[in-house]
Structure 1
Amino acid sequence: MHTSEQTSRRDFMKLAAAAGGGLFLGFNWTNSSALPVVVSAKSIAAGSIHFNSYLSIGTDNIITIVSPNPEIGQGIKTAFPMVVAEELDADWKQVKTVQGNLDTTIFERQVTGGSGAVPHSWERLRKAGATARHLLVEAAAAGWHVPAAECTTENGKVLHKVSGKSLSYGELAEAASRLTVPDNVPLKNEKDFKLIGKSVRNVDNHNIATGKPLFGLDFHREGMLYAIIQRPKAFGLKLKSVNADAAKAMPGIVDVVTFENSVAVVGKSTWQVKKAREVLNIEYEKEAALESSADHDRIFKELLDSKEATVRRKNGDVDAAFRDAVKVIKSEFQCPFLPHSPLEPMNFFAHVREDGVELVGPTQTPDRARTEVAKLTGIPAEKITVEITRQGGGFGRRLSADFVMEAAHVSKLTKAPVKVIWTREDDMTGGTYRPAVRYRFEAALDKNGEMTGYKLRGVGINSGNPTREDNFPSGAVDNLLIDSVEYKSAITTGPWRAPITNFLAYAEQSFLDEVAEAAGKDPVAFRLALLEKARKAPAGEVKYDIDRMVSVIRLAAEKSNWGKKKGVHQGFSVYFSHRSYVAQVGEVVVEKGKPVLKNVVAAVDCGIVINKSGSLQQVRGGVVDGVGHAMYGNLTFKDGKPDQSNFNGFRLIRMNEIPEVDVHFVDNGISPTGLGEPALPPAGAAVANAFYKATKQRLRNQPFINDEAFKGIS
């Protein structure tokens, strides 16, 4: 079932042409300096103009923008048109957004991940709106025989205040489409923004609230089949044999097929294939170690002492710094695997034909999906279409294409259109997880309480590099060593919201509080002094913006009234990730002898805030996600099999446990930086440091509820 938001680019162009003309601007997403080009409705319909997106102004005054990036709840489908509408001086009520589908000939970076969509497209979007506005003004001025400089724009109209004349953009669209596009147009001064920075409702809110079919699970194609897949129940097993006779005999079952390490039951409804899967008789054999969480604890301890490590950064003479130290502080921190658990489980539709492939569903990386399916089927990528639906969460899980490949496999084998659906249990036990990691930190202090040496070793399971060696406090300590060791496991891992930094920030910032206490210094003052050291006498290259980090530290301290609230125990944390800077203060009070998290104050520097409402929710959601997983999230294994398979066993934060989140944005006027992920990393440490202030118990392991120190205070 298709919706207007799922209309393809081809359908959009046909609709635009059928509207009877107007101003259609194709603007290049791959080149921020490329100017929009005026193209006629006729040429758009013919498909002879190939640009990366289309801004249309119809004679009905409706302004439409095709948004290419997948929408997973980060608000990009609202933010993109807001930027265009601002430069255009459009009436927001007349702006519509269409989800673009995969088209690598006209789009660049059709990816949702890394909090990079707005930073990538900011200038491109502004130029598109500003150029359209310029052409409309020129058209009006020519018709009125007045200088263009005397004309202004407001709410979708061009005004000539001297004469009192005005024309709507729709009335001017035809005339504007015949003008020559200028080489350059001025952009608005940020102080003149009317829409950017305001709170705007998400463009899909109404359709979500009223249950319109927006998501991958909503997609339906007449005649399609459903498939549910049995994967090995433990990591390290492979398929040996399958007897599907009982399943094939059940009502509604069309076929049972095997591929790679999976068995797919295909039928006419999700319930029928789910029930049939339960009677499959499958035999597995071992192909790798069936690991348990106890094994991982042992492995971590061994590798932390290993002499084989990859050096990520080294400054100064670390051995001398620790040899001469008056005091050495040493701590270890550990985090478990975590599932992504988006509200919408994995699902995808595929129809593999001899002449091409149709793919429809929720993916953060549509081009990757197409590329992988092309390899599987042998069908050229240009004959594979990918329609992107709205996604009920991703958190990095939908960067992978395994669920897309499953749909393509089953469709190819059954020669039918097929939709693969994962259950919640499939989603939680089928990977791909946040890697489990353990860190060891060491700091050397001199007689003045100055940190003269710093060491960090990260050991991760399928984590790649589990450190961020150039993040603070690198550059602020003369003698520094950061290295890492990776352990390869059959358990599949991948990016999880704010990859690596989601736990590293907690460990680093918790440890810095320990060091500050050992040095007899206030935690905020201690960090500011380190940053001043990095500014005046950097140790090696400094790859973070000192001024931006200092600004959020000072803002968080100011807004939280740091150190001055009676009966409130405060913990501090600050982190840089995805081009943005976030400082947080956790606030804990003791009620009936128990510490209770009441509030988190967040100071955020993400550059210009486009949608105030969406930005606030991104920060609040990131804080709650960070706090919730730090306190409760835990996925453990027994003989290669996850112990937790649904939310009755995997603990999420509950409504009554969510603190107030007080958000403050730094207004520095720089171009927008990332926001989907940066608020999560500092959250765990802000809370852990606040709990320490209240209890004098350090929390060094996640989830906190399993830490012996937390058990004694909770």
Structure 2
Amino acid sequence: MSTVNKSRRSFLKSTLLTTGGLMLGFSWASAGAAAPVVVADAGAAASLGFNSYLSIAPDGIITIFSPNPELGQNIMTSFPMIVAEELDADWKKVKVVQAALDTKAFDRQVTGGSGAVPHSWKLLRNAGATARQMLVQAAAQQWGVPAEECTAADGFVVHTKTGNKLDYGALAEAAAKLPVPKDVKLKDRKDFKLIGKEVKNVANKDITTGKPLYGLDFHREGMVLAMLQRPPAFGTRIKSVDAAAAKAMPGIIDVVQFKNNVAVVGKSTWEIMKARKVLKVEYEKDGNTESSEDHAKLFSTLMDTGTATVRRKDGDVATAFAGAAKVLRAEYECPFISHSPMEPMNFFAHVREDGVELVGPTQTPALARTSVSKLLNIPEEKITVAITRLGGGFGRRLKADYVTEAAELSSIIKKPVKLIWSREDDMTGGSYRPAVRYRFEAALDAAGNMIGYKLRGVGINSGNPTREDNFPSGAVPNLLIDTVEHQSPITTGAWRAPITNFLAYAEQSFLDEVAQAAKKDPIQFRLDLLQKAKTAPVGAIKYDIDRMIGVTKLVAQKAGWGTKKGVSQGFSVYFSHRSYVAQVAEVVMKGGKPVVQKIYAASDCGEVVNLSGARQQVMGGIVDGLGHAMYSKLSFKDGAPQQNNFGNYRLIRMMEIPEIETHFVDNGIEPTGLGEPALPPTGGAVANAIQKATGKRIRKQPFIEDPVFSGKTQAAPAKKMKTA
């Protein structure tokens, strides 16, 4: 199995088209698209509306296009696995080609929202099954036997009665002369040989041997390098620049000021970094230069006096709370955090008179092209975007700011340039997970039933900091969810599992508080609510109740919920990006501090394509969720980020990662995505376990700042729930 990065046209020219064979063009636009067609030659292929190609060359090599950027979510392995399964191919003879941007050809050329496999599942299966049926038909004609007597397996077609067999390469050219079948039969999942099995990532060897895969690896003869000096604080602008000393440094080609940046252009990153340090740039205030102390005051003020936008309202909330036997109230808060991908932002741009060439790591190549087109007033059809492998993204590379910077600089200096961000640039000039504070209120009747629920989210540049239709909406007769928003000069954006990455922790932790006040087991409390949503729903139900119940029961069984001694268990379950994940965290006390010992996870993401990749996605999401809940925080002083590198911005360390046990629900439904759903439940499961171990409810991230981690106090007895 190998990977290649080529343009669409070069792919067409370099596959079987020069040697004969079978090439099918199939539409990636939707699962219900028109049937594939045989592509006869490069000219015909270029003029077709089809946007993806499955080729079988005479040597038996099978190649498909993969349009979505690869950042570690495993689609460059999963996509060909789906095709190879239906094709009954020899996995060793399959390769995948990373496609360049082509918005006319590809419908969803984006990596984000855990949507790549769900979007492409049916059409990839159909393409593989179509090719298989044509190969079987070609073999049957050659042997003069009914096609029903032939089967396909491991890259061969076999005549079951005589034992005759031919490999796909030998049949490809003959198959290409047959009409494409209109209806093909897909495999029964019980016959899957690849799907659901553990398959190594196709890029493992290239990654571990240091092959040039990433944007930072890209090199073009004659290009120059550049780094930008950006304002040190949000809400400031350049007042004056003295670049004389920098221009005199060895290897420096130019120093250019544009917009609110100063670009240092040179021959090597080391020379540029040294020259950038001697720049003399004076800044002045240009708007709000907010501090973290300001945000704390804003949260308190806006929570009570801000103009709220109602997101959902069911029943008579005021009456429910007025007549409640008990009312609970709690506030949870999360800070800004950095995306911190291993590979900082970078992009290559060459602005020429006849067009623009862009190369680099982006989750949204179409946005990159559109943004450059608008900036430079150049038609999109004159701009090409080649996609490298991404060294992490987590939502940061959904934006195109670093792409437009490179393109604008190239247009100014009239040279091809690769713009590189340092780690400090990436952390202090980036786009952060929004800071948010939530206030939850619950009304209980005398029997401990939750009859009222209120949630107010106050966010800083968060858009809508709630997910108003997620559980427990629909399970509570009287419910109000609203939001208040503050606009800030601090740039924010989607961070892995947007909004739910923190909201899930807050919601699930508060539900434990309610269960405790109702004197009910936390898992049974949620199951009872889900049963109410199923039998007597209130308003719209936009989550699958049975799937949520399924992962809840599965993780409880696997973790031995409530049966273990010597550990404190915490539970959490969440629905995001079409999938469901439930977790149980186990905490023990060591040296007076709570330590996360193990986390169990049960996931329902539909059909698991690659079991190895799925496990890694769940484990990676848990490590990401745990690390950021426990340790990460970005604070501000007069608009300036106070953390600028890993020396003062805390991430989880290897020795702090607990044992993780993963399980998957085998329900046979189509895949629903897995890149993000495992992260949101982790913080809640861990916080709930810590509460059981220490008696202390942590309502603010990062957890490490809470006194329970000082080691000065032993586990305290559970405190009585405060009521309002």
TM-score range, shorter chain: over 0.9
Matching residue of 2:33: 34
Query: Is residue 2:244 matched to residue 1:272?
Result: no
Give the distance between the partners of 2:73 and 2:456, measured in 1 at CA.
Answer: 33
Query: Is residue 2:242 matched to residue 1:239?
Result: no
Does the CA contact (< 8 Å) of 1:25 and 1:36 recur in 2?
Answer: no
Matching residue of 2:438: 439
Q: Which moved more, 1:168-177 or 1:240-249?
A: 240-249
Does the CA contact (< 8 Å) of 1:698 and 1:709 recur in 2?
Answer: no
Matching residue of 1:96: 95
> What SS is found at the alignment partner of 1:289?
coil
Q: Which moved more, 1:31-40 or 1:622-631?
A: 31-40
> What SS is found at the alignment partner of 1:690?
helix
Once the 2 structures are TM-superposed, how far is the Cα of residue 161 of structure 1 from its aligned partner? 1.6
> What SS is found at the alignment partner of 1:600?
strand
Does the CA contact (< 8 Å) of 1:699 and 1:710 recur in 2?
Answer: no
Matching residue of 1:133: 132
Does the CA contact (< 8 Å) of 2:49 and 2:105 recur in 1?
Answer: yes
Once the 2 structures are TM-superposed, how far is the Cα of residue 708 of structure 1 from its aligned partner? 3.8
Q: Which moved more, 1:431-440 or 1:589-598?
A: 589-598
Give the distance between the partners of 1:230 and 1:530, measured in 2 at CA.
Answer: 53
Does the CA contact (< 8 Å) of 2:342 and 2:391 recur in 1?
Answer: yes
Does the CA contact (< 8 Å) of 1:19 and 1:58 recur in 2?
Answer: no
Matching residue of 2:469: 470
Does the CA contact (< 8 Å) of 1:334 and 1:700 recur in 2?
Answer: yes
Matching residue of 1:458: 457
Once the 2 structures are TM-superposed, how far is the Cα of residue 541 of structure 1 from its aligned partner? 1.0
Q: Which runs of 5+ in 1 are unaligned?
A: none
Distance 1:571 1:713, change over 3 A: farther
Matching residue of 2:201: 202
Give the distance between the partners of 1:713 and 1:194, measured in 2 at CA.
Answer: 55
Name the aligned partner's letter for residue 32 of structure 2.
Answer: S
Once the 2 structures are TM-superposed, how far is the Cα of residue 4 of structure 1 from its aligned partner? 6.5
Distance 1:206 1:45, change over 3 A: farther
Matching residue of 2:571: 572
Once the 2 structures are TM-superposed, how far is the Cα of residue 713 of structure 1 from its aligned partner? 5.4
Deviation per CA, 1:16-58: give whole Å up to 9, x if none: 1564011011110002122443334524577233421111100
Name the aligned partner's letter for residue 113 of structure 1.
Answer: G
Structure 1 residues 524-543: aligned runs within 5 Å? 524-543=523-542
Once the 2 structures are TM-superposed, how far is the Cα of residue 75 of structure 1 from its aligned partner? 0.3
Matching residue of 1:11: 10
Give the distance between the partners of 1:129 and 1:563, measured in 2 at CA.
Answer: 47
Once the 2 structures are TM-superposed, how far is the Cα of residue 593 of structure 1 from its aligned partner? 3.7
Give the distance between the partners of 1:451 and 1:4, measured in 2 at CA.
Answer: 54
Matching residue of 2:679: 680
Distance 1:11 1:469, change over 3 A: same
Matching residue of 2:183: 184
Matching residue of 2:428: 429
Name the aligned partner's letter for residue 64 of structure 2.
Answer: I
Distance 1:706 1:592, change over 3 A: closer
Q: Which moved more, 1:211-220 or 1:371-380?
A: 371-380
Q: Which moved more, 1:304-313 or 1:683-692?
A: 304-313
> What SS is found at the alignment partner of 1:464?
coil
Once the 2 structures are TM-superposed, how far is the Cα of residue 253 of structure 1 from its aligned partner? 1.2
Does the CA contact (< 8 Å) of 1:17 and 1:45 recur in 2?
Answer: no
Does the CA contact (< 8 Å) of 2:73 and 2:675 recur in 1?
Answer: yes
Deviation per CA, 1:613-632: give whole Å up to 9, x if none: 00000000000100110000
Does the CA contact (< 8 Å) of 2:333 and 2:436 recur in 1?
Answer: yes
Identity %: 68
Give the distance between the partners of 1:47 and 1:603, measured in 2 at CA.
Answer: 45
Once the 2 structures are TM-superposed, how far is the Cα of residue 241 of structure 1 from its aligned partner? 2.2
Query: Is residue 2:364 matched to residue 1:365?
Result: yes
> What SS is found at the alignment partner of 2:84?
helix
Name the aligned partner's letter for residue 12 of structure 1.
Answer: F
Matching residue of 2:85: 86
Deviation per CA, 1:433-453: give whole Å up to 9, x if none: 000000000000000000010
Deviation per CA, 1:582-621: give whole Å up to 9, x if none: 0000001223443221000000000000000000000000
Matching residue of 1:119: 118
Name the aligned partner's letter for residue 246 of structure 2.
Answer: A
Name the aligned partner's letter for residue 125 of structure 1.
Answer: L
Distance 1:509 1:24, change over 3 A: same
> What SS is found at the alignment partner of 1:139?
helix
Does the CA contact (< 8 Å) of 2:100 and 2:386 recur in 1?
Answer: yes
> What SS is found at the alignment partner of 2:293?
helix
Give the distance between the partners of 1:610 and 1:214, measured in 2 at CA.
Answer: 24
Once the 2 structures are TM-superposed, how far is the Cα of residue 307 of structure 1 from its aligned partner? 5.0
Give the distance between the partners of 1:273 and 1:594, measured in 2 at CA.
Answer: 46
> What SS is found at the alignment partner of 2:600?
strand
Does the CA contact (< 8 Å) of 1:91 and 1:155 recur in 2?
Answer: yes
Name the aligned partner's letter for residue 510 of structure 1.
Answer: S
Structure 1 residues 136-535: aligned runs within 5 Å? 136-535=135-534
Does the CA contact (< 8 Å) of 1:247 and 1:279 recur in 2?
Answer: yes
Distance 1:46 1:504, change over 3 A: closer
Name the aligned partner's letter for residue 169 of structure 1.
Answer: Y
- RMSD over aligned CA atoms reads 1.2
Q: Which moved more, 1:280-289 or 1:295-304?
A: 280-289
Give the distance between the partners of 1:40 and 1:648, measured in 2 at CA.
Answer: 55
Name the aligned partner's letter for residue 284 of structure 1.
Answer: Y
Matching residue of 1:562: 561
Give the distance between the partners of 1:592 and 1:435, measured in 2 at CA.
Answer: 34
Distance 1:197 1:258, change over 3 A: same
Q: Which runs of 5+ in 2 are unaligned?
A: 715-724
Does the CA contact (< 8 Å) of 2:36 and 2:127 recur in 1?
Answer: no
Matching residue of 2:722: none
Matching residue of 1:667: 666
> What SS is found at the alignment partner of 2:102?
coil
Does the CA contact (< 8 Å) of 2:566 and 2:588 recur in 1?
Answer: yes
Q: Which moved more, 1:702-711 or 1:435-444?
A: 702-711
> What SS is found at the alignment partner of 1:47?
helix
Name the aligned partner's letter for residue 274 of structure 1.
Answer: M
Deviation per CA, 1:413-441: give whole Å up to 9, x if none: 01110000000000000120000000000
Matching residue of 2:588: 589
Name the aligned partner's letter for residue 99 of structure 1.
Answer: Q
Does the CA contact (< 8 Å) of 1:23 and 1:38 recur in 2?
Answer: no
Name the aligned partner's letter for residue 659 of structure 2.
Answer: E
Does the CA contact (< 8 Å) of 2:26 and 2:37 recur in 1?
Answer: no
Q: Which moved more, 1:703-712 or 1:206-215?
A: 703-712
Give the distance between the partners of 2:338 and 2:459, measured in 1 at CA.
Answer: 16
Name the aligned partner's letter for residue 629 of structure 2.
Answer: A
Matching residue of 2:721: none
Once the 2 structures are TM-superposed, how far is the Cα of residue 384 of structure 1 from its aligned partner? 0.5
Once the 2 structures are TM-superposed, how far is the Cα of residue 10 of structure 1 from its aligned partner? 1.6
Give the distance between the partners of 2:56 and 2:518, measured in 1 at CA.
Answer: 63
The TM-score, its normalising length taken from structure 2, stands at: 0.97
Give the distance between the partners of 1:592 and 1:706, measured in 2 at CA.
Answer: 17
Deviation per CA, 1:162-215: give whole Å up to 9, x if none: 111100000000000011011111111111111000000101000001000000
Does the CA contact (< 8 Å) of 1:321 and 1:453 recur in 2?
Answer: yes
Name the aligned partner's letter for residue 457 of structure 1.
Answer: R
Once the 2 structures are TM-superposed, how far is the Cα of residue 222 of structure 1 from its aligned partner? 0.5
Deviation per CA, 1:367-396: give whole Å up to 9, x if none: 000000111121110110000000000000
